[in-house]
């Protein structure tokens, strides 16, 4: 008894199950043939015999109807097509992630160029980007350099990005948030369709470049440490005191 109870509970937790063949226990069903024609209401035994004669399954497709509606089909193929539909629907969903790019007020021009390229790659992959400039010590008293850096980045990505949040201070950081323009999503959709077409033809399609491999930090692993210049300034203050 306890074993049977556990079995029933396990099946319930997996959600509704499609009943096929001898699992269909109602006395009669409305039957749709494999070619789509309506065979009308038959006893379940007659419907099962009809499915067996053509080497197919009797599958309950609408259990809430009165009587339930069943269709004669290849259940293995039916499950495969349902999974394929679910995968295709998931592929077509647009999932926008927020990526982060970190800069510093003292980031040099070469590293800023690296950050601009990384930002463009994230945007071209359909992601939003939050560009953060973190201030240390007395750097916060002179935000102009950070403002210039973020303005430069905005100017270099304006062809593919919309500005959602202009540079503004958040405690000891200045942040800029940008998102892809519609033209980016149109391009991604075209690439997806081309990829699906080539896969359907059996062609080998290389995986897209992984934008998550982009190095987005600039010496930001020592946020709590002082730079040599800041330490020197503080030492000078201590001597005066």
Give the containing element (helix H, strand E) for 91.
Answer: helix 75-92
Alpha-helical (H) ranges within 107-181 are: 109-124, 144-157
Task: Name which residue leads in pLDDT, 95 or 170.
Answer: 170
Q: pLDDT confidence of 221, banded at 50, 70, 90?
A: very low
Mean pLDDT, rounded, for 137-165: 88
CATH 3.10.20.80 fits 18-74, yes or no: yes
158/162 Cα distance (integer angstroms): 7
Percent of the chain surpassing pLDDT 90: 41
pLDDT at residue 56, rounded to an integer: 94
Residues 65-77: tens digit of each pLDDT: 999 999 999 999 9
User: Which CATH number is 98-220's, of 3.30.1370.160, 1.20.1260.10, 3.40.1160.10, 3.30.110.10?
Assistant: 3.30.110.10
Give the containing element (helix H, strand E) for 176.
Answer: strand 173-180
pLDDT of 51 over the 60 cut: yes
Q: State whether residue 5 is helix, strand or coil.
A: helix
Q: State whether residue 83 is helix, strand or coil.
A: helix
Residues 169-210: tens digit of each pLDDT: 878 889 999 999 999 988 988 888 888 888 777 776 665 555
Give me the residue spans of the domains in the chain.
Answer: 18-74, 98-220
Rounded to two decimals, what is the model's pTM?
0.50
């Amino acid at each position: 008894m306890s074993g049977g109870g556990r079995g029933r509970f396990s099946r319930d937790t997996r959600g509704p199950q499609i009943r096929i063949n001898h699992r269909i226990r109602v006395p009669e069903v409305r039957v749709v043939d494999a070619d789509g024609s309506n065979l009308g209401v038959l006893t379940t035994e007659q419907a099962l015999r009809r499915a067996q004669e053509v080497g197919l399954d009797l599958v309950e497709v609408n259990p809430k109807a009165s009587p339930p509606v069943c269709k004669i089909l290849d259940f293995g193929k039916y499950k495969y097509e349902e999974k394929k539909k679910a995968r295709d629907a998931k592929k077509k969903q647009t999932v926008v992630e927020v990526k982060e790019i970190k800069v510093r007020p003292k980031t040099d021009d070469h590293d800023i160029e690296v950050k601009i390229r990384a930002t463009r790659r994230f945007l071209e992959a359909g992601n939003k980007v939050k560009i953060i400039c973190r201030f240390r010590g007395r750097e916060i008293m002179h935000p102009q350099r950070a403002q210039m850096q973020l303005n430069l980045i905005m100017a270099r990505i304006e062809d593919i990005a919309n500005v959602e949040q202009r540079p503004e201070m958040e405690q000891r950081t200045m942040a800029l948030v940008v998102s892809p323009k519609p033209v980016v999503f149109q391009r991604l959709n075209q690439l997806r369709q081309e990829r699906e077409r080539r896969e359907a033809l059996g062609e080998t399609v290389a995986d897209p470049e992984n934008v998550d491999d982009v190095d987005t930090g600039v010496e930001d692993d020592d946020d709590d440490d002082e730079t040599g210049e800041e330490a020197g300034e503080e030492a000078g203050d201590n001597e005066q005191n």
